[in-house]
């Protein structure tokens, strides 16, 4: 793995990420503190973000997960979305906050919102750590956004490239992918 790490350039430091999560948690506490929401983490990329966000929220909530895929082992989305794991907590009448690692084309998020809306939640919102608007093909509502980033393929802080780099506490981009994805 050290050879791969040489190819990374930093984009967001661990300190920047943690500071922004504290700010997002403040906004979410204001909107959800009395609602006992269900936070739905999108696996695998959002697991670190969800864990740090939940620790900062400090109010009653439940966590659930789903796993969807559109990338496989590639750095470019295939556009084909497959549900690999669905939520298990009943969402009918609940306030649901989807926690995403990154929204780029919007295709996966649009599919996910449509899928969750069928479960009849009381409300459905999205919190994304990263927003990459330059790649947007479908407009989707993002209620809470950590960072808007340039058109780069990013890794770290739970986000991978072919299952590598998830362990990093910062977000970097692959130098050879600077403006490709």
Instruction: Examine the residue annotation and report whether 104 is marked as an active-site residue of this protein.
Output: yes
Tokens of 173: 């981009």
Distances (CA, A) of 67 to 35, 85, 147, 152: 25, 5, 23, 23
Q: Which of 64, 86, 101, 104 is catalytic?
A: 104
Residue 102 and residue 44 in contact, taking contact as beta carbons nearer than 8 Å: no
Q: Which of 99, 170, 105, 97 is nearest to 129 (CA)?
A: 99
Is 62:91 a contact under the CB 8 Å cutoff? no
Tokens of 21: 């999560």
Residues with active-site annotation: 104
């Amino acid at each position: 793995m050290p050879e791969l790490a040489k190819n990374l350039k930093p984009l967001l430091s661990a300190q920047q990420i943690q500071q922004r999560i504290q700010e997002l948690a403040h906004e979410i506490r204001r909107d959800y503190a009395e609602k006992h929401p269900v936070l739905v983490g999108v696996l695998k990329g959002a697991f670190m973000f969800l864990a740090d966000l939940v620790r900062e929220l400090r109010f009653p909530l439940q966590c659930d997960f789903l796993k969807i895929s559109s990338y496989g082992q590639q750095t470019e989305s295939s556009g084909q979305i497959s549900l690999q794991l669905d939520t298990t907590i009943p969402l009918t009448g609940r306030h649901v906050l989807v926690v995403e690692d990154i929204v780029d084309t919007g295709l996966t998020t649009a599919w996910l919102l449509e899928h969750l809306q069928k479960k009849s939640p009381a409300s459905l919102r999205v919190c994304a750590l990263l927003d990459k608007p330059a790649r947007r093909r479908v407009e989707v509502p993002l209620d809470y956004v950590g960072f808007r980033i340039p058109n780069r393929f990013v890794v770290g802080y739970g986000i991978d490239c072919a299952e590598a780099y998830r362990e990093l506490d910062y977000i970097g981009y692959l130098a050879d992918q600077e403006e490709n994805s």
